[in-house]
Amino acid sequence: MNSSKVAIKNSREKYPLRLNMYDRPPAQDVTLEEFETWAIDRLKVLSEIESSFVRNRTHDELKTVTTDQCRKYLPVDSNNAELQTREPQRKKDHVSHFILRLAFCRSEELRRRFVKAETTLFRVRYENSAPADREKFIEAHNVGGDTVDVQKDPALLKQLQKVAASAAHATLEKSYYKVPWTQVPDLVATRRVYLKGGFAYVPLSLQPNIIYQKFQQNLERALEQTAKALPRLDEDDRLVPILEHLSKGFVAGVSGEYRAGEGIDGEVTADMVDEIARKHFPMCMRSLHETLRADRHLKHAGRLQFTLFLKAMGVSVEEAIVFWRKGYGQSMTDDKFNKEYKYNIRHSYGLEGKRADYPAMNCQRIITQNGPGPGETHGCPFCHHSIDNLTSSLTSVYRITAQADLMEIQRAVKDGFYHVACTRVFEITHAERGVKKGEGLGAGESVAHPNKYVARSRELEKAAGMPSGAGDAMMVDEA
């Protein structure tokens, strides 16, 4: 409603705002060629954003990269620019967004990725906007939330001071906005706002989060509607092939996934797992494997993480069942195993239920999703174990004893660079194979997937010409 108010005010201008909420579809004609090239240009920007996530870039790095890409492929100038320049830019931005909506509404996975990338793009642009552009946007879309007069309410003031003291914005801020808490779930989740009676009190410095959230929620809803409408679009064969092509390009662009058989050959049998574990497993899997050996049991999340890892390592479903049956040993009756556990293993292999071929979890997933609760042992040891326990397993299991090495790993862990710590462990334990510091899994690649760790370790062993099963100087462990 509000945007129409603005539109009337500047009736000759189609795009009075630099930033677009994309709440109305474009109504202009575009040529087939524009249709494709504009969409591809936008896709280039979004792909770069996605790969920034995969590479763990900080927000500032991501912002620089994205700003560069936007300048190249999808510039949107502020209102200071000439009308003749900014109108076509804004039209291209508007149209390309809607084309990609058509391409990416098809599956939940695509929708999720598209929303994440688009919201990030919006955020970067918002941060780069002049204050005047921002204010205009907030006013036009009525998204800022209601201001609260905190000075009038001493009790509230006291609570807000407490939040300020517990959060990064240390001191009380100039103004606060009151919104229903569901509009800022991320601020609630991280306890960065005061919550009372279902309302969140958002400080000025965090106000943009209200807007990003609104943008994201709008887009999510719109994509679902598009998905429902798409089968009825009944488009001729001009657009559909282009759309197919676009969505494929996005998927292929970045992939942190790992498929079975990559880089290693031959099936791994249940009996081989112990030895491979001893010589080649990264710490997360080693820890699961040892817990299974010691307790004859793993909790559900650990089983899932481990089963998918074994699958990607080349263990067939038959062998996996043998492995787990032996792993549980006497702790469980055959009957119980067949009833409750076999199904889950087969499910992980895509043989039961919805028959999805689940990929093995990459490091990002292991670290960020579903961390271990009391009594659980899955997750990433560098992130989820205390420093003391981590250090003692580095020494006892991986035989890393040099103080300098241990210090270096601990420092990386403290700074939150878990993949760096893990990569360092790989380098140290594979020094005998000629892996040097900084080389990682080859050419400086750091560990981003436990299966890549194993594959590389086994590859190095093979290259050294050592027959599998022969005594190994790298890790002498009589466990």
Partner 1 sequence: MSAKDTECSPDVTLAFYRRLYPFKSIFTWLNHQNPPTKLFTHREFAFTLLGDVYLRYNSFNNADDLKREVCRLNPTRFEVGPVYSARPRDKKTMRAATFTPLLRELVFDIDMTDYDEVRTCCTGKGICSRCWAFIAAAVKILDRILREDFDFKHLLWVYSGRRGIHCWISDQSALALSDDSRRAIVHYIEVIKGGKEMTKKVNVRLVHRNGSVGGLHPMLADSLSYLRTVFGELILKDQDCFEENKGWETLLELLPNKKINEKLRKQWEADLFRASDLKWQDLISEVSALGKDSAEQNLMMAALEDVVLQYTYPRIDSEVSKHRNHLLKAPFCVHPATGRVCVPIDPARVSDFDPEKVPTVGQLLRELDGVAAQNGEPHHSDWTKTSLKPYVDMLDQHVAKLMKVVREQNRAEAERQF
Residues contributing to the site for partner 1 (CB under 8 A): 159, 162-163, 165-168, 181-182, 185-186, 188-191, 194-199, 227, 287, 339-340, 354, 370-379, 381, 384-386, 388-390
Shortest distance, position 306 Cβ to partner 1, whole Å: 14
User: What DSSP state is assigned to residue 270?
Assistant: G
Residue closer to partner 1 by CB (options 75, 372) is 372
Go through 149-162 and write b for each residue having 16 or more CB atoms within 10 A of its CB, e for each that does not: ebeeeeebeeebee
Residue closer to partner 1, measured from CB, 14 or 346: 346
- Is 284 flagged in the annotation as binding? yes
Q: If residue 405 lies in a helix (H) or strand (E), which one and from where to where? A: helix 403-414
| Closer residue to partner 1 in complex, CB, 31/190 | 190
| Three-state secondary-structure class, residue 283 | helix
| Nearer residue to partner 1 within complex by CB, 199 or 258 | 199
**Rounded least distance, CB 390 to partner 1, Å:** 8
Question: Please, what is the minimum distance in Å from the beta carbon of residue 82 to partner 1?
Answer: 41
CA 323 to chain centre: 31
Q: How far apart are CA 72 and CA 75, in angstroms?
A: 7
109-114's contacts with Cβ under 8 Å and 24+ in sequence apart are 110/247, 110/250, 110/251, 111/220, 111/223, 111/224, 111/227, 113/50, 113/250, 114/46, 114/223, 114/250
380 assigned ligand-binding residue: yes
Q: How far is the CB of 442 from partner 1 (least distance, A)?
A: 30
Helix (H, G, I), strand (E, B) or coil at 135: helix
In the complex, what is the shortest distance from the CB of residue 187 to partner 1, in angstroms, rounded to a whole number? 9
Phi first, then psi, for residue 258 (nearest 5°) are -130, 130
Q: In angstroms, what is the minimal distance from the CB of 295 to partner 1?
A: 10
Indicate the residue among 159 and 269 with the shorter CB distance to partner 1.
Answer: 159
Does residue 419 contact residue 448 with C-beta atoms inside 8 Å? yes
| Angle of CA points 144, 118, 189, to nearest 5° | 55
CB of 4 to partner 1, least distance (A): 26
Q: Tell me how far, at minimum, the Cβ of 349 lies from partner 1, in Å.
A: 20
Q: Which is nearer to partner 1, 30 or 332 (CB)?
A: 332
Q: Is 70 annotated as a binding residue?
A: no
Strands (E), 57-153: 146-148
Question: Is the Cβ of residue 42 or residue 385 nearer to partner 1 in the bound state?
Answer: 385
Q: What is the dihedral of CA 276, 281, 284, 290, to 10 degrees?
A: 30
Q: Considering the complex, state which of residue 78 and residue 166 has its C-beta at the smaller distance from partner 1.
A: 166
Euclidean distance between the first and the last CA atom of the chain, given in angstroms as a whole number: 70
Q: Bridge-partner residues for 268, per DSSP?
A: 315
Q: Give the orientation angle of helix 108-128 with respect to helix 83-104, to 10 degrees.
A: 160
Neighbour tally for 342: CB within 10 Å: 17
Look-up: residue for tokens 């002049």? 130
Minimum Å gap between C-beta 200 and partner 1 is 9
What's the sign of the alpha-carbon dihedral 90, 91, 97, 98?
A: positive
The number of beta carbons lying within 10 Å of the beta carbon of residue 350 is 14
Three-state SS at 370: coil
Residue 3, Cβ neighbours under 10 Å: how many? 17
Closest to partner 1 by CB, 7 vs 188, is: 188
How far is it, in rounded angstroms, from Cα 20 to Cα 24? Answer: 9
When the beta carbons of 16 and 372 are compared against partner 1, the nearer one is: 372
What's the closest the beta carbon of residue 384 comes to partner 1, in angstroms?
A: 6
Inter-CA distances, 74 with 94, 137, 270, Å? 10, 19, 53
**Residue labelled with tokens 């380098």:** 427
- Binding residues, as ranges, are 284, 363, 380, 422
Point out the annotated binding site for [4Fe-4S] cluster: 284, 363, 380, 422
